Amino acid sequence: MSSDVGWEQLLRFREDFRGWVAGAAEQLDGLRMVANSPAEQLGQARALQRLLYESRWARHGWPDHAGGLGGSVLLRGVVGEELTKAGYPPPFACSLIEVLGPAVLEFGSPELVAEFFPRLLDGTDVWCQGFSEPEAGSDLGALRTRAVDADTHWVVSGQKIWTSYAMGAQRCLLLARTGDVSAGFRGVTALFVDMDSPGVQVRPLRAMTGDDEFAELFFDEVEVPKARTVGVVDGGGEVVRKVLGNERGVLAWQRQAWLHTRLRDAIAGADAGASAPAAGHVGDAYVALHALRLRVRETFHAAAAGCDVGAGTSVDKILLSTAEKAVFDTALKLEPQLILLNDGPVAARWRYDHTYSRASSIYGGTAEIQRNIVAERLLRLPRER
């Protein structure tokens, strides 16, 4: 999507949206990021998405044929950033709209996009991502969920794991093997699956945070129409690369804005007499965040201009996980008694975020895999033996 938008236009759009957020305080009441359970978070996100859609803000930056209003992807970044700053979740964060949406737009058929994308934009549908498996996490080329060609449809059998918000999802972008295991990505196909299809079973997984945001999915001879194939058969690797690149575009921009907000919250809540070591951690966290913001901004604008950001997004992912851990480690050092000993909702939120940040070097591609990509594809170092 084009980034053909001037700075004055972008600034005016930002100011207009800020004005709308301020004026819609009564409508937005109750939609701030205070929900604890995944079900509550999803309910809030869907309600906010519906409000943003009806007010047209959720449609900017998406093409007309998908239910949008057109315009630069940068407009979506502005909406997400300003919502995050104001304490609201970014547009449909729970539904991976910025992760899966662009991939389905690029690789899905016009009929599939026309039928399902408006339902995503207006909050009717939630999508989830069926990639990881018990024996194929970051190495998606090793996945074993299989789709067998049955003329007019695929018959899918297998298991997925660590699927976010699957309990409330209506659709799943699923990776299944259609070729030989030895073919790696060259034998993988992306499919768009209805979660209420016969043979689909969803089981919640309890994380160390105490929540069941994640689930494992079981597919027992699930029939998926051939029209739901996303991209070409055995070409799922291209879809995966698009999805992973999306995680480091608008989504990463929204994430860094949220981390800045959380660092400010930690500083504002700290005692005036915070120790010098704790103050030093604030500086380290800010430097990590600023480096992340500069890098993500460059990637975001390059993607908006239609450039292939490629393997360079692995640098973004490494910086993101580093900054996320730094922010919540700093918060713990600034307010140890509040976070560790208090039973109130504010302390509970800090404990949740700190615990969740431990996974930042795992989800979306482990830090080890990202460093290998940087070494081999950017620095041209020899492959790891």
CATH number at residue 117: 1.10.540.10
Domain identity same for 219 and 322:
no
In a domain, 384, yes or no: no
In a domain, 275, yes or no: yes
Domain identity same for 251 and 358:
yes
Domain identity same for 73 and 179:
no
> Which one of 186, 213, 233 terminates a domain?
233
Active-site annotation holder among 247, 335, 368, 376: 247
State residue 241's pLDDT score: 86
Domain identity same for 225 and 113:
no
Domain identity same for 227 and 353:
no
In a domain, 385, yes or no: no
CATH for 272: 1.20.140.10
> Which one of 205, 233, 261 terminates a domain?
233
Domain identity same for 288 and 371:
yes
Domain identity same for 229 and 244:
no
Question: pLDDT in tens for each of the 385 residues of the chain?
Answer: 445 678 899 999 999 999 999 999 889 887 876 666 788 888 888 999 999 999 999 999 999 999 999 999 999 999 999 998 888 877 766 668 989 999 999 999 999 999 999 999 999 999 999 999 998 776 777 899 999 999 999 999 999 999 999 999 999 999 999 998 887 778 999 999 999 999 999 999 987 777 788 999 999 999 999 999 999 999 999 999 888 877 767 778 888 999 999 999 999 888 665 666 777 899 999 999 999 999 999 988 888 888 888 888 899 999 999 999 999 999 999 999 889 999 888 898 899 899 989 988 888 778 888 999 999 999 999 987 6
In a domain, 200, yes or no: yes
In a domain, 86, yes or no: yes
**Can you list the alpha helix ranges (DSSP code H) found in the chain?**
7-23, 25-28, 38-54, 73-85, 97-107, 110-121, 236-246, 250-269, 276-304, 313-334, 336-341, 345-357, 367-373
* Structural domain range at position 339: 237-378
Domain identity same for 131 and 226:
yes
Give the pair of three-digit tokens for residue 266: 């930690």
What distance in Å separates the CA atoms of residue 118 and residue 116, rounded to the nearest whole number? Answer: 6
In a domain, 367, yes or no: yes
State residue 2's pLDDT score: 44
Domain identity same for 273 and 197:
no
> Which one of 100, 122, 144 terminates a domain?
122
In a domain, 53, yes or no: yes
CATH for 150: 2.40.110.10
In a domain, 2, yes or no: no
Q: What angle, rounded to 10 degrees, do the helices at 276-304 and 313-334 form?
A: 150
Domain identity same for 13 and 105:
yes
Residues written for the chain: 385
Pick the closest to residue 192 from 257, 113, 249 (CA basis). Answer: 113
Pick the closest to residue 128 from 89, 177, 185, 167 (CA basis). Answer: 167
Domain identity same for 211 and 316:
no
Q: How many distinct structural domains can be found in the chain? A: 3
Determine whether 247 is an active site residue: yes
Domain identity same for 252 and 332:
yes
What distance in Å separates the CA atoms of residue 158 and residue 219, rounded to the nearest whole number? Answer: 5
